[in-house]
Structure 1
Amino acid sequence: MSNIVDFPNQEKRFDEASLWIARLDRKLTKSEEAELQHWLAQDAENGKVLMRLAQLWDKMDRLSLLSEIFQIQPRKKSYTMHYAVAASFLFACLGAFLLMPFAVEKATPELAYKTSVGEQRKILLDDGSTLILNTDSQVKVVYSPKQRLLLLSRGEIHVDVAHDTSRPLRVVANDKVVQAVGTAFDVRVLSSNKVKLWVTEGRVAIADNKHIENPVALEQEPLNNPNLFISKGEKAILSGVIQQVEKISDGEMTAQLSWQQGTIVFRGETLDEAVLEFNRYSDQTFVIHDSSLKQIRIAGVFKIGDTPSLLSTLHNNFDIQYEYDKANQILLTMDK
């Protein structure tokens, strides 16, 4: 059985390679091309990790598309190519897997938005803020002269907040209130008492909302005594009185927000964790029938809803068998 990366010995190297994958998604700047070349030249293992990730896709014939970026000549199909070719290969493959950007909607008078399983939706709010809903999400927008309020009842949203100090923007999720003035952050309801928060720009304040039966009443209660502040590059799990805050790498942040480009990025998660994430975006449910498979580590970039690609990767790289049952489940088992 083959593995993509040797964990945990190459965890840092793999994290860096995953970040390059995400950057290649949006096209490299000239300075980033030089930085990538430098990273590949630092250690031969860097290129090997990129190659192991590249083997998730068998599209070597697309190398010529980006050969000019690295000033190389296209070569025959081979897994022993120059590291710069490997980077070009990843770039070409990602282009084939990414979704077209979804259209931006203008906010309508209904002020209540939701998405179905596997759907993403981008909305331009009246104040100039941008709201993006992830899969199976529901949010209500309540604007007044004194505040901008988003009531997240389920799922996940990303908010890029238009600056307006006279009207704070607040997100209410479960019993927590997240307030920002001009910033960008991601809020996800994990359960009835747990919320996950990522801050990509600026700073946000967190406060409890247990004593306020009607969230609209927040307009009369300024957030003067927040429990916690979360800054750019940090994430927090908010659950009751327990607040877990930690710094995160650029690679982890990029992976967390990859759903906005229609992809899921795995950076060495266990198969158990990966199928839970994939299940969020599909009506077909993955079930690990053989418990010995749960701790296998996987890596790669997958288009949301591209179940065949994930199954192919699991079979080709880990000898995992799969079958569909009548309950719309996909059973994963060890190859006999």
Structure 2
Amino acid sequence: MELHEGPLGPGQRIRFAQWRQRSPAHERAWEKAAVLLEKFNTLPPPGAVALKKISAPERRKAIKMLAAALAIGPAAWIAYRAAPWSDPAGHYRTAVGERRELVLDDGSRVNLNTDTRIEVAFSASERRIRLQRGEVMITTAKDRLQQPRPFLVTVEEGRIRALGTRFTVQQLDRSSRVAVFEGAVEISPAGMPSAATVMPAGMQTTFTRTQVAPPSSCDDAAAAWTSGMLMADRMPMERFIAELGRYRSGTLQIDSRVAALPVSGVFPVNDTGLTLALLEQTMPVRMQYFTRYWVKVVPR
């Protein structure tokens, strides 16, 4: 996938540079996209989703749609942050398709992904977040109290203790996924609280109430949602559609005949309709719309 068609003109270069400088989030989003797109250029066909495979007019249209979606993603995030949006004291949530940021009393930051619900409870002895549903990115701050309090995240399967870190936690069905980007975390399954596992930056794992799976390397895709993107590198279409469905109201299905197709690219999560349109223009699939909220991906 390419984000441009030929060299940018002088005016385009200036506008693009201004957009990147406007916000650290814009710069991080571009850096992540550029790294992954460069990686895709080395993939042999049909592994990469190549816009060059479609006609020039369609390719230019797809490029413009994707560029626009990536540009408005951070703006959408800022708008959500500026709006009032809390439940009763200490409870916070997002609807399907929403992403929001919360700054805690101690300066720590919590980014909430789509369809997420948390409870924040700070006391004299601890700083605790209960993840009831969904996914969060947490960037911890140094405690301002003279006696530092531990920073804990609890899920159905157990507890994660932050050790000066930036990490994500996702509540899955009967397990939780943790990815660490800075510092380290300590994972304690509920059924084996004494068997804590320390996981350093650059690693990710899942755990249940009784065990922690062997960790694996953590890739940028695990945090791409914080920049309004869904990154895929040879991801099976079935898994891609399941992930995209988290950001879309209604039912998103897939025909078994295209379930194994590999998808590679950078796609916007703030506009799932646009992402489906991009798939139609770059993959041998089409969207079968039964209603606005019931869509099935089928062979073209």
- What is the SS of the residue equivalent to 2:215? strand
Aligned residue number for residue 280 of structure 1: 246
Once the two structures are TM-superposed, the CA of residue 25 in structure 1 deviates from its matched residue by 6.0
Return the TM-score normalized by structure 1.
0.67
Matched, 1:293 2:251: no
Aligned partners of 2:266 and 2:172: how far apart in 1? 23
**1:322·1:332 contact (CA, 8 Å) conserved in 2?**
yes
What displacement does 1:58 show?
2.6
CA contact (8 A) 1:107 1:123 kept: no
Which structure has more relative contact order (CA 8 Å, sep 6+)? It is 2
Q: Which of the numbers 129, 140, 160 marks the counterpart of 1:150?
A: 129
Q: How does 1:68-107 map to 2 (within 5 A)?
A: 95-96=70-71, 98-100=73-75, 101-102=77-78, 104=81
Residues in 2 aligned to 1:287 and 1:135: alpha-carbon distance in whole angstroms: 19
Cα deviations by residue, 1:143-164 (Å, 9 ceiling, x for unpaired): 0111001011110111101123
Residues 49 and 263, structure 2, Cα contact 8 Å, conserved in 1:
no
For residues 30-86 of structure 1, give each alpha carbon's deviation from its aligned partner in whole angstroms, at most 9, with x where no partner exists: xxx9xx8xx98xx9x649889964548833899xxxxxxxxxxxxxxxxxxxxxxxx
Specify whether residues 110 and 195 from structure 1 end up closer, same or farther in structure 2 by C-alpha distance, changes over 3 A only.
same
Any stretches of 5+ residues in structure 1 without a counterpart? 5-21, 63-88, 212-222
Q: Which of residues 239, 259, 280 in structure 1 aligns to 2:208?
A: 239
Does residue 172 of structure 1 match 2:154? yes
Selected match of 1:139 from 97, 106, 118: 118
Count of equivalent residues:
262
- Paired position in structure 2 for 1:229: 198
Quote the offset at 1:110 in angstroms.
1.6
Q: Which amino acid aligns with 1:278?
A: L
Asked if the contact 1:188–1:196 (Cα under 8 Å) also holds between the matched residues in 2, the reply is yes
Equivalent pair of 1:107/1:126 in contact (CA under 8 Å): no
| Consecutive unaligned residues in structure 2, runs of 5 or more | 2-24
RMSD: 3.7
Post-superposition offset of 1:261: 1.2
Letter aligned with residue 258 of structure 1: A
Name 1:58's counterpart in structure 2. 59
Q: 2:103 aligns with which of 114, 124, 127?
A: 124
Match of residue 195, structure 1, among 173, 176, 181: 176
Cα pair 2:186 2:197 within 8 Å, conserved: yes
Specify the code of the residue in structure 2 equivalent to 1:155: G
Tell me if structure 2 keeps the 8 A contact 1:107–1:124.
no
Aligned to 1:110: 89
How far apart are residue 334 of structure 1 and its match?
1.6
Report the CA distance between 1:107 and its aligned residue. 10
Indicate the larger mover: 139-148 or 103-112. 103-112
C-alpha distance 327-314 of structure 1, shift in aligned 2 (>3 A): closer
Amino acid at match of 2:223: L
| 2:298 is equivalent to residue 322 of structure 1 | no
Secondary structure of the structure 2 residue equivalent to 1:182: strand
Which shows bigger deviation, 308-317 or 116-125?
308-317
1:266 aligns with 2:232: yes
